[in-house]
Amino acid sequence: LVLGAAAHASGLPFIPDWLPMAPGWPPSEADLAPAVEDSIHFFYLSDILQTTPVDVPNPPPLRLGLFNIAEAWIFAFLPLLWADRENRLPRPVLLGTWFGALGLTNAFLAPYLLCCEIFKQPLPAEKSNSANSSKNAIVAGGTAATATLVVVYAMIQILTQTNGQDFADFFQLVQEDRTYFAFCVDLFLFSIFQSVLLQRVKETDLTTIDKLPFVGLVKWMVVD
């Protein structure tokens, strides 16, 4: 999206008109306003603690739910990225990327995975068989429980508080706002990254449940 916006701003051809890239890069305050409003409700903590500023408008449930589902999914990636010992970058880099991804999702995660492919160092043969077997059950279970609670709450909010007009407004936002267009792309990319990482860590053929977005990741943290 960054490259596409830069190309659009530079007047390069072949940039589809339907991509919400104009007026270019960097995004304006108006472009970022919906994401900033939603970030106040990260994991619904401000709602639970009742610390939401009174002058901040409540985002539509559909928009807020999608935001928190994306954040919960990237939050749940940490144990999986950590278990990928044969391919991961040094732990400080991994943790820094994960913290950054909590704010900018695939703006951090996708480049990190690319760097893993470029700079990975194969482990010695005697270590490779058990390289990806380590998983802290307590950390993985706590992460899975937290992410699942957020996703379930978001889905309940969407299903019980959203009407047809909300969906129409959201689709209009996706067409006009590059931030939320990126969030929709993120969910698609997360599905791909999840399958790739699970295949590396499990080192066996993935089941149908393993390939289910988010569900397969939670299954790996809790059951496998």
pLDDT, tens digit, for every residue of 6-50? 444 444 455 555 555 544 455 667 666 766 777 777 777 777 777
Evaluate if residue 151 carries a pLDDT over 90. Answer: yes
State the Cα torsion 18-23-29-35 to the nearest 10°. Answer: 20
Mean pLDDT of 101-122: 76
Give yes or no for a contact between 159 and 151, defined as CB atoms under 8 angstroms apart.
Answer: no
Instruction: Enter the tokens of residue 110.
Output: 């996708």
- Whether residue 203 has pLDDT greater than 80: no
Whether 193 shows a pLDDT value over 80: the answer reads: yes
Q: Which residue has the higher pLDDT, 150 or 60?
A: 150
**Average pLDDT rounded to a whole number, residues 136-146:** 90
The pTM (predicted TM-score) of the whole model is: 0.78
68 vs 107: which has the higher pLDDT: 68
Q: Which of 222, 218, 221 is nearest to 73 (CA)?
A: 218
